[in-house]
Structure 1
């Protein structure tokens, strides 16, 4: 499979899972460390619109702020850093993630909105968890005044306003799971 070329100022769905579907986040500390490393390696290089960290995979909705080569290297550094720490913690060796992180270029704002919903609703689709209370999704960042790395205002503008953002998330979105099969 030829990988999508990343381009500056374009939006992407970035995702990957553990090799052979293995767990890549065993606990909350792993997820917090991944988010910390994400911020460290990608600061100013990408804008994050949504994320969700599940036990064996993750989703990011991003926009590139700089040229592809630097962003690809930043992601490589992030994944290598996280894998080394995880392997050391769990006393394992070898690859943690599938070979290349997947990326899909988003073609329009409608796709971007639907993808943000899909990512936020991921806990519901996989584990029938209440996505509103899921700690490792960007959804809760929209209910806080705390500083965040999420492009909160841009996302809310995509949905029109905060009320419509909530409304869209509360709709029966079973068709999202059928439309997007990213794992």
Structure 2
């Protein structure tokens, strides 16, 4: 299996990402970014917790952790109205179904709103397992630096459609903010770490042209 088509498994952490087909844009107006996050939460909240994200006009990056086996099988039984049998059902397929429903729901809404037809995203969701502590730190950092890397802003924190500023705030959030801040050793250490220059060669970070 390609490292970008890895199965989503309980209690594992992943970097997931996708982009728009051709020269299309995923987000045309500011309200689209908010709607995307609403749909993400609506369709995946029972199977995944979100660490952070970056949404750019033609692609997105998300770092998340899949929930534990019990939570996911309970959600399966609630939605499918049948007992989960690991011999008959692949739990990773069920998890992927949640994410497919999310992307399909967003696509249908955009198509209806802007009178377009057909696919909006590339035909699969790329996902890369976070293998170790260094990976986790790097993915958080590079997702937050994504808008700077692509030239949408000059300084980290200036792009309004990523989660960086949420980690500096005390406002309620659906992100695993406390876990990330503790990981970096506090807010000040988090900020200092993110002041480093970006170097994509230091991490297996898959980008889009």
After superposition, what is the alpha-carbon deviation per residue over 1:121-150, rounded to whole angstroms, capped at 9, x for unaligned?
A: 111000250331211111111122111111
- Once superposed, what is the RMSD of the aligned Cα atoms? 1.5
Change (3 A) 1:112 1:178: closer
CA distance in 1, matches of 2:156, 2:113: 28
CA distance in 1, matches of 2:172, 2:93: 28
Number of aligned residue pairs: give it. Answer: 182
Question: Residue 152 of structure 2 contacts residue 159 of structure 2 at CA under 8 Å; is this kept in 1?
Answer: no
With the length of structure 2 as denominator, give the TM-score of the two structures.
Answer: 0.82
CA distance in 2, matches of 1:178, 1:128: 22
What is aligned with 2:116? 92
What is aligned with 1:30? 32
Matched, 1:158 2:160: no
After superposition, what is the alpha-carbon deviation per residue over 1:25-45, rounded to whole angstroms, capped at 9, x for unaligned?
A: 111111110000011111131
- Decide which moves more: 124-133 or 96-105: 124-133
Change (3 A) 1:177 1:92: farther
Q: Which structure carries more helix by proportion?
A: 1
CA distance in 1, matches of 2:141, 2:113: 33
CA distance in 1, matches of 2:172, 2:45: 14
Question: Residue 114 of structure 1 contacts residue 176 of structure 1 at CA under 8 Å; is this kept in 2?
Answer: no
- SS of equivalent residue, structure 1 residue 127: coil
What is aligned with 2:194? 169
Please, which runs of 5 or more residues in structure 2 have no aligned partner?
73-90
Change (3 A) 1:153 1:15: same
